[in-house]
């Protein structure tokens, strides 16, 4: 459990974080989201003390990080930067294993660990171990960055806008990879992004930030169902404004058609909504009963369908904006 | 020219190799010291930007001081020889090494620095695994610039008795010996290129093996240095060593070789170490004062005109008598009084100014003295060394004293005037009495019967304490008193600087022919 306790960060005249309180549970994939200048990266870097708060405390399992030995603390917290930030003078294997050198792992054990993790992130160790970072694509470099962060079996991983520099295809693959790794390893992940659809897709819970202040914290469905204020509403829902009816979700191919799927006949649903109801109604339904489905006409919709749909329209919009 | 160069190298190759080795040694020592100072400084200051900028400014400022000035400033503190040369080289080389290392270390992509910090790398590991390797290309290019500069500038060490390839360059300039000049210049340039190439290759080598390599080199050089110094000490055994130095050029080298032969013949327990082409007058005089050397040959005229004062508190120039015997007495007395030095009896020859004409003309007009020339000077054209032409103790005074009335009197580049006289372009010029060109071009020197020119007689100069401690050395050197005529000296200078015979050979020839050893 990570607690931010009345944390304030001040640089000269500007206040980057204002008296912020936030608790992140263990094993959670927690997303900090907000526009640039919102203070989300500043907050993230307080966990491994790349930033020290002007006032307030950051606690991990009740212990103040400021009381930890700095290097020891950092060696147990994985960190993934925007571009992978691999050291250009070292091979993939050396980069991935550098933390293990610090911890004094024997070469054989280190090698095994690195090769195992490279396999897990979808890089063939025989092919990639001896490559230099300059010979990797952006996606491959970021996969190695993830291996480096995971190598020392950390308690948690901090990810600072890790996929913002990648093309859409690589980004999707890496988002799936992180979700899968989180599932398998059960490790705490704090993930920073400015992209709302990425936040929705990734988060167990998320915190929306603006100008150094926490706007709202909750599961994606909670936030979507009850935006705390106008900022959250616009940051979150405007993207979906044109296509917010449930018929749009079904038309886009999401949900399970109960007619074509005899096996799903025993699937239960807690509520039934009509085609003219909105995504907000749907989100409210999921908020009330997160685990169960919602029936709309002949289709069964789950929480994951809503999130995937919102992410897809947001990606479409980005494509349109780029085309303009 | 090529043939001359070939002969020169063939005759001097062992000395040349020695000079090359000296040059290499000075350069390596200066480079190692520079790296030991500049690299840790850059590492320490990379996180202290303000101090770093200040150091950069200071290093740049030192860079702008002319190297000769630095050498001059250093002599009173550290004396002469390799030490001030190495210090000067280090002062120059710190700037490129520091600047490149500092810039390399402070311009590393901040994302990478942050990654290293976030991984919790300990300081040392961050430095050696991340920061230094990333700054390595910059560091290496700084070292390359510094090494090339050090090897080039190390030629200046010759000016202050530091040895090295610069000795040949200076010798070449002073004695008009192109072969020596080329040997010195080409070898130092080649050495610089070689070193630069070597560093380029080394910059592709990993940090670890580079460190091992530097260590091995240091051990080899250190071992060799200690080895040779021990060996030389062992070789010398019980013997007393007397160090004799000479100014630039062939004539001083001849004289000190004679000193060596005479001293070693009279006392087998004394080993003489020669330092030919050691430097200019003031360097040698300071070296003697600080007992870095024991003896060097000096001229009476030089003592009176540039080394001693008139003895008054104002410290004006000493009066120069035109009588050679008086001049010697004045010089010896002043040296004893002002510097506690002993000036032994001079040799016969005078290396002073004279008026030269073609021997054919001298016979035709029966010219023996400058006075004879004055009688018919309206038929003669003349040209002089520009300095001689202007100084009151040069042409203007000479003209007044003897009533010379040349049909024309011009200035001319000193190196050209003998040839111009021989070719009949001019009919009279100024000359040094022992210049070998007098013989080479078959010229006649006219006698200065009115003693217009100050006397320049050579004699061994040493500290009084040395003289009283080494009576045998003094006795041996006194054998040369009153010996060696102008003619003898010209002949020997001719053999050394025109025929390129070895000074040692020519010196011992003279001594044995005259029954001095």
Following DSSP, what letter does each residue of B45-90 receive, concatenated?
A: HTT-HHHHHHHHHHHHHHHTS-HHHHHHHHHHHH-SSHHHHHHHHH
Taking a C-beta distance cutoff of 8 angstroms, is the pair B183, B168 a contact? yes
Tally C-beta pairs within 8 A across A and B.
58
Same domain, A157 and A263: no
CATH code: domain of residue A213: 3.40.50.300
B interface with A, Cβ–Cβ below 8 Å? 109, 111-112, 114-122, 125, 129-130, 133-134, 136
Following DSSP, what letter does each residue of B308-352 receive, concatenated?
A: -B-SSTT--BPP--SSHHHHHHHHHHHHHHHH-EEEPPP-S-B--
Taking a C-beta distance cutoff of 8 angstroms, is the pair A194, A305 a contact? no
Fold of B353-446: D-Maltodextrin-Binding Protein; domain 2 (3.40.190)
Which chain B residue lies closest to A74 (C-alpha atoms)?
B120
Which chain A residue lies closest to B108 (C-alpha atoms)?
A87
Domain ranges of chain B: 2-204, 238-350+456-513, 353-446
Total structural domains within chain A: 2
Taking a C-beta distance cutoff of 8 angstroms, is the pair B128, B207 a contact? yes
Whether B238-350+456-513 shares its CATH topology with B353-446 is answered yes
Query: Within 13 Å of residue A271, how many CA atoms lie on the same side as its CB?
Result: 16
Write the DSSP symbol of residue B2: H
The tokens 């008086």 sit on which residue?
Answer: B326
Provide the whole-model pTM.
Answer: 0.66
pLDDT bracket for residue A265 (50, 70, 90): low
Same domain, A218 and A264: no
Q: So what's the ipTM on this one?
A: 0.77
Position B232 scores a pLDDT of: 55
Same domain, A209 and A112: yes
Best of A65, A73, A84, A102 to mutate (most B CBs within 10 Å, chain B): A102
Q: Is A99 part of the contact surface with chain B (CB cutoff 8 Å)?
A: yes
The tokens 């330092």 sit on which residue?
Answer: B275
Write the DSSP symbol of residue A133: G
Position A149 scores a pLDDT of: 92
**Helix H or strand E segment including A295:** strand A293-296
Q: Parallel, antiparallel, or unpaired: how do β-strands B240-247 and A77-80 relate? A: unpaired
Residue-averaged pLDDT of chain A:
85
Which of A234, A259, A282 is where one domain is finished? Answer: A234
pLDDT at A29 over 90: yes
Same domain, A229 and A247: no
Position B455 scores a pLDDT of: 83
Nearest to A87 among B112, B118, B120 (CB): B112
pLDDT bracket for residue A49 (50, 70, 90): very high
Count of CB atoms within 10 A of residue B222's CB?
Answer: 12
Q: Is A165 part of the contact surface with chain B (CB cutoff 8 Å)?
A: no
Query: Within 13 Å of residue A273, how many CA atoms lie on the same side as its CB?
Result: 23
Integer Rg of chain B from CA? 28
Taking a C-beta distance cutoff of 8 angstroms, is the pair A9, A181 a contact? no
Contact flag A98-B118 (C-beta cutoff 8 Å): no
Q: Please tell me the CATH code under which domain B2-204 is placed.
A: 1.10.3720.10
**Minimal CA–CA distance to B114: which of A62, A51, A192?**
A51
Cβ within 8 Å of residue B178, ≥6 positions away: B1, B4, B5, B172
Nearest to A74 among B111, B112, B119 (CB): B119
Residues of B in contact with A165 (CB under 8 A): none
Position B435 scores a pLDDT of: 85
Q: Is B176 helix (H, G, I), strand (E, B) or coil?
A: coil
φ, ψ dihedrals at B365, nearest 5°: -100, 5
pLDDT bracket for residue A249 (50, 70, 90): confident
Same domain, A47 and A186: yes
The tokens 């002062």 sit on which residue?
Answer: B91
**Minimal CA–CA distance to A168: which of A305, A316, A45?**
A316
Same domain, A77 and A119: yes
Residues of B in contact with A88 (CB under 8 A): 112, 134
Q: Which long-range contacts (CB under 8 A, 24 or more apart) does B420-426 make?
A: B420/B383, B421/B356, B421/B357, B421/B358, B422/B358, B424/B358, B426/B381, B426/B382, B426/B383
Position A319 scores a pLDDT of: 62
Integer Rg of chain A from CA? 21
Q: Please tell me the CATH code under which domain B238-350+456-513 is placed.
A: 3.40.190.10
Q: Please tell me the distance from the alpha carbon of residue B131 to that of residue B104, in angstroms, as a whole number.
A: 9
Best of B107, B113, B118, B137 to mutate (most A CBs within 10 Å, chain A): B118
Same domain, A229 and A263: no
Q: How many residues does chain B have?
A: 517
Contact flag A73-B120 (C-beta cutoff 8 Å): yes
Following DSSP, what letter does each residue of B385-436 receive, concatenated?
A: -HHHHHSTTTHHHHHHHHT---SEEEE--HHHHHHHHHTTS-SEEEEETT-T
How far is A192 from chain B, CA to nearest CA, in Å? 16
Q: List, for residues A224-242, the tens digit of each pLDDT value.
A: 888 888 888 877 665 555 4
Q: How many residues does chain A have?
A: 324
**Minimal CA–CA distance to B208: which of B133, B147, B144?**
B133
Same domain, A215 and A279: no
- Owning domain of residue A302: 239-323
Taking a C-beta distance cutoff of 8 angstroms, is the pair B155, B188 a contact? yes
**CA max distance for chain B:** 99
The pLDDT profile of chain B, 517 residues, written as one tens digit per residue, is 678 788 888 878 888 888 898 899 889 999 999 999 999 999 999 888 889 999 989 988 888 888 778 877 777 777 677 888 888 899 989 999 999 999 999 999 989 999 999 998 888 889 999 999 999 989 999 999 999 999 998 888 877 777 788 888 887 776 667 888 888 999 999 999 999 988 888 877 766 777 777 778 777 767 766 666 555 555 555 578 899 999 877 889 999 999 999 999 888 888 898 888 777 787 788 888 888 889 999 999 888 877 888 766 566 667 778 888 888 999 999 999 999 999 999 999 888 888 999 999 999 999 999 999 998 888 899 998 877 887 777 888 888 889 998 998 888 877 788 888 988 889 999 988 888 888 888 999 998 888 888 888 999 999 999 999 999 899 999 999 998 998 899 889 888 878 878 889 999 999 999 888 8
Position A304 scores a pLDDT of: 80
Which of A217, A234, A251 is where one domain is finished? Answer: A234
Position A36 scores a pLDDT of: 83
Structure tokens at B314: 């104002």
Residues of B in contact with A75 (CB under 8 A): 119-120
β-strand partners of A216? A208
How far is A79 from chain B, CA to nearest CA, in Å? 6
Residues of B in contact with A103 (CB under 8 A): none
How far is A152 from chain B, CA to nearest CA, in Å? 10
Mean pLDDT of A6-11: 89
First CA to last CA distance, chain B? 38
How far is A159 from chain B, CA to nearest CA, in Å? 11
Residues of A in contact with B129 (CB under 8 A): 87, 90, 98
Contact flag A85-B120 (C-beta cutoff 8 Å): no
Same domain, A20 and A168: yes
Same domain, A316 and A225: no
Mean pLDDT of A88-99: 92
Q: Parallel, antiparallel, or unpaired: how do β-strands A29-33 and A14-24 relate? A: unpaired
Nearest to B111 among A70, A74, A85 (CB): A85
pLDDT at A8 over 60: yes
């Amino acid at each position: 459990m990570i607690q931010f306790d009345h944390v304030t960060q001040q640089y000269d005249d500007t206040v980057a974080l204002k008296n912020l309180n936030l608790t992140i549970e263990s094993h959670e994939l927690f997303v900090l989201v907000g526009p640039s200048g919102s203070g989300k990266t500043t907050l993230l870097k307080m966990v491994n003390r790349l930033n020290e708060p002007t006032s307030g405390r950051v606690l991990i399992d009740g212990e103040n990080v400021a009381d930890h030995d700095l290097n020891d603390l950092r060696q147990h917290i994985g960190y993934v930067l925007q571009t992978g930030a691999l050291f250009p003078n070292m091979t993939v294997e050396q980069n991935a294993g550098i933390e293990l050198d610090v911890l004094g792992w024997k070469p054989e054990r280190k090698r095994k660990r690195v090769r195992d993790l490279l396999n897990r992130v979808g890089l063939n160790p025989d092919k990639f171990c001896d490559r230099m970072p300059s010979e990797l694509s952006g996606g491959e470099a970021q996969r190695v960055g993830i291996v480096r962060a995971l190598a020392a079996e950390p308690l948690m991983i901090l990810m600072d806008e890790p996929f913002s520099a990648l093309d859409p295809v690589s980004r999707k693959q890496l988002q799936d990879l992180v979700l899968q790794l989180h599932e398998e390893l059960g490790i705490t992940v704090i993930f920073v992004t400015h992209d709302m659809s990425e936040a929705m897709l990734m988060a167990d819970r998320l915190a929306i930030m603006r100008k150094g202040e926490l706007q709202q914290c909750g599961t994606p469905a909670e936030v979507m169902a009850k935006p705390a204020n106008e900022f959250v509403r616009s940051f979150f829902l405007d993207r979906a404004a044109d296509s917010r009816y449930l018929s749009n979700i079904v038309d886009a191919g999401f949900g399970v058609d109960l007619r074509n799927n005899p096996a799903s006949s025993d699937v239960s649903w807690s509520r039934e909504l009509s085609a003219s109801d909105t995504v907000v109604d749907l989100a409210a339904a999921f908020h009330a009963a997160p685990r169960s489905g919602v029936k709309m006409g002949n289709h069964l919709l789950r929480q994951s369908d809503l999130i995937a749909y919102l992410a897809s329209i947001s990606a479409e919009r980005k494509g349109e904006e780029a085309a303009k | 020219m090529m043939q001359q160069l070939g002969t020169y190298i063939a005759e001097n190759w062992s000395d040349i190799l020695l000079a090359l080795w000296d040059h290499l040694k000075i350069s390596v020592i200066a480079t190692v010291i520079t790296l030991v100072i500049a690299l840790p400084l850059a590492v320490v200051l990379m996180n202290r930007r303000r101090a770093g900028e200040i150091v950069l400014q200071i290093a740049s400022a030192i860079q702008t001081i002319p190297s000769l000035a630095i050498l001059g400033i250093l002599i009173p503190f550290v004396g002469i020889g390799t030490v001030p040369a190495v210090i000067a080289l280090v002062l120059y080389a710190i700037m490129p090494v520091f600047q490149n290392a500092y810039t390399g270390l402070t311009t590393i992509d901040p994302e990478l620095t942050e990654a290293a910090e976030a991984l919790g790398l300990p300081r040392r590991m961050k430095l050696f695994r991340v920061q230094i390797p990333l700054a390595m290309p910059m560091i290496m290019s700084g070292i390359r610039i510094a090494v090339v500069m050090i090897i080039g500038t190390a030629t200046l060490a010759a000016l202050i008795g530091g040895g090295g390839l610069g000795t040949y360059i200076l010798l070449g300039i002073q004695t008009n010996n192109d072969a020596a000049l080329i040997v010195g210049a080409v070898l130092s340039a080649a050495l610089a290129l070689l070193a630069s190439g070597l560093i380029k290759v080394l910059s592709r080598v990993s940090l670890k093996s580079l460190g091992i390599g530097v260590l091995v080199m240091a051990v080899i050089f250190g071992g060799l240095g200690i080895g040779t110094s021990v060996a030389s000490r062992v070789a010398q055994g019980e013997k007393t060593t007397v160090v004799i130095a000479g100014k630039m050029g062939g004539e001083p080298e001849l004289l000190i070789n004679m000193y060596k032969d005479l001293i070693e013949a009279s006392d087998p327990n004394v080993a003489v170490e020669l330092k030919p082409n050691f430097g200019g007058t003031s360097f040698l005089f300071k070296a003697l004062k600080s007992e870095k050397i024991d003896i060097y040959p000096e001229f009476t005229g030089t003592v009176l005109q540039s080394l001693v004062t008139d003895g008054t508190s104002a410290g004006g120039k000493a009066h120069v008598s035109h009588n050679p015997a008086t001049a010697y007495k004045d010089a010896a007395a002043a040296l004893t009084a002002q510097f506690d030095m002993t000036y032994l009896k001079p040799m016969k020859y005078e290396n002073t100014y004279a008026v030269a004409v073609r021997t054919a003309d001298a016979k035709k007009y029966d010219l023996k003295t400058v006075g004879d020339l004055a009688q018919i000077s309206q038929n003669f054209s003349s040209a002089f060394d520009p300095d001689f032409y202007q100084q009151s103790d040069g042409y203007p005074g000479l003209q007044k004293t003897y009533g010379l009335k040349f049909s024309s009197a011009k200035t001319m580049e000193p190196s050209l005037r003998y040839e111009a006289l021989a070719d009949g372009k001019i009919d009279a010029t100024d000359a040094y009495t022992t210049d070998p060109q007098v013989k080479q071009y078959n010229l006649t020197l006219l006698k200065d019967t009115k003693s217009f020119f100050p006397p320049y007689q050579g004699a061994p100069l040493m500290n009084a304490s040395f003289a009283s401690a080494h009576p045998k050395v003094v006795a041996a050197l006194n054998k040369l008193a009153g010996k060696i005529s102008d003619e003898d000296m010209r002949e020997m200078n001719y053999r050394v600087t025109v025929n390129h015979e070895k000074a040692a050979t020519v010196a011992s020839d003279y001594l044995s022919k005259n029954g001095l050893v």
